Structure 1
Amino acid sequence: MTDAKPMRADARRNYERLLAEARRAFAEHGVDASLEDVARSAGVGIGTLYRHFPTREDLIETLLRDRFDTQAEKARELLLAEDPLDGLYTWLIGLGETSAVYRGLTEILADAFDDPESRLHASCEAMKDAASHLVDRAQAAGVFRADVTVRELLLLLHGASWAGSHLPGEGGTERLMALVFTGLQTSEQRGQRVVGAPR
C-alpha cells in the first residue's frame, strides 16, 4: 500500500477548517448537523467537503480517530492494573465518554458494530478487541460474569451512554454505567463492593 499523496497547502487548510467546523456543529447539534452548514462555515463549497469526506461517517471517523487510538492504548495500559475489575470499568467509562461526545453518536456506533460496510466498523472492531482482553482477564479472575460477551457489554455501554445523555447535569453516563456494571459482576464480587462507588 502506498502512502497518500500529501495535500497542497490550500487543501490542507480547507481540510482543517472543515474538521474544526464539523467538531463545533456536531457538539452543538449532534451528528445529524447539516453538512452544507459545515461547509459554508468553513468557507468552502459542499463539493470540497465531499472530496475530503465522501460520507458523513468518514467525517465522524476522522473526528474520533484520536479518541479511539487513545482508548486502544489505554486498554493496553489497564491490562497491568492491579484490580482487573477496576481496569475494565475505568476503560469502559473512557469509551462511554467517547461514545457520548456528540448527540446521536451512540446509535451510529451501535449500528456500525454489525455493519462491515460502515466506515466506523474498523474502529468498533478495534474497541471490541481491546475490550476482549480486559474482559478475559476479569473473567479469569472470577470477578466478572462468564456468560457476558464483549458484544453485549459494548451494546450495554452504548445504551448507558445514550440514556446518560438524557439525564440532567453531568455524570449521568458514569452513574448509569456503574449501575449496569454492578449486575455484570459475579455474585461473590457484588457482595464485596460496587465498582465505581467509593471504597
Structure 2
Amino acid sequence: MDKPVLRADARRNRAKVLAAAEEAFAIDGLAVPLDEIARLAGVGAGTVYRHFPSKKALFQAVVLDRLEQFAREARELLTAEDPGEAFFDFFKRVVRQASLNRALCDALAETTGLGFKASAGTDFRAALQALLTRAQVAGAVREDIDGEDLRALIAGCLAAERYSRPDRHLVRILVDGLRTFDSTCTLRNKT
C-alpha cells in the first residue's frame, strides 16, 4: 500500500520536525518532550502528532533517516580504489558521528528498548557488509569477522567513545584488531 502524497507545506513541516527531533534527540535522547521538539521546529504540537503519533515513531524515523544516510555513504565507497581504507575510514566515521548523537548511539547499541523492526537499518547493515566483504577480499580485514561481529564492535566502540577520556585511543586499538596481520605490520611500519 502506497503512502499518501503530502502537500508541499506538510512535507516542509515534516522535514522541520525531523530536523528539530534529530537535534533534540542527539543531545537529550528520549528524555526530550515532544512539545519541545515542536517548539524547536517552529510548529504546533498538533503538527508533530499528525506526522508522528508517538515519540517512539518520531525517534525511529530520525534514526532510520540517519541510518539511510550512512547506507548511501557506504554504497558510494564500494568503488573506492583502496577497499581496506574505505572500510576503516567509514567504520571510524560511523563511530565518531554516532558517539556525538545520543539517539543514534543508543539505536546502534540497541539500548533504547524501542524494539526496532527487523527491517530497520537493513540497507545500512547490507552496505556495511558489502564494504567489509570487499575489504576482506582485498586482504585488509580479518576473514573471521562478519556483519554481526561488526554490529557488536560498533556498540563496543560507542561505549569506549562515551565512557573513556577524550584523549584515549581505544577505538583505534579496536579497529587495528580488525586488520589482517599483514596490514597491521604495514601499519606499524608506517608509524
> Under TM normalisation by the shorter chain, which class is it?
0.7 to 0.9
Q: Which moved more, 1:70-79 or 1:85-94?
A: 70-79
Matched, 1:191 2:185: yes
SS at match of 2:109: helix
- Answer whether contact 2:95 2:154 (CA < 8 A) is retained: yes
For residues 4-153 of structure 1, the aligned pairs below 5 Å read 4-7=4-7, 9=9, 11-12=10-11, 14-41=13-40, 42-45=42-45, 47-65=46-64, 67-111=66-110, 118=116, 121-153=118-150
Distance 1:66 1:43, change over 3 A: closer
Residue by residue over 1:26-61, the C-alpha shift from the partner in whole angstroms, topping out at 9 and shown as x without a partner, is 24323432223323554523x542331134343234
SS of the aligned residue for 2:187 comes to coil
TM normalised by structure 1 equals 0.74
The letter of the residue matching 1:70 is Q
Cα distance in 1 for residues equivalent to 2:32 and 2:190: 39
Following superposition, the deviation at residue 141 of structure 1 comes to 2.4
Give CA-to-partner distance per residue, 1:105-125, whole Å, 9 cap, x none.
32323328xx9x625x53422
Does structure 1 conserve the Cα–Cα contact (< 8 Å) formed by 2:160 and 2:171?
no
Q: Is 1:180 matched with 2:174?
A: yes
Percent of counterpart pairs with the same letter?
A: 30
**TM-score, with normalisation over the residues of structure 2?**
0.77
The RMSD of aligned alpha carbons is 3.2
State the SS of the aligned residue for 2:186.
Answer: coil
Farther off after superposition, 79-88 or 56-65:
56-65
Alignment-mate amino acid for residue 133 of structure 2: D
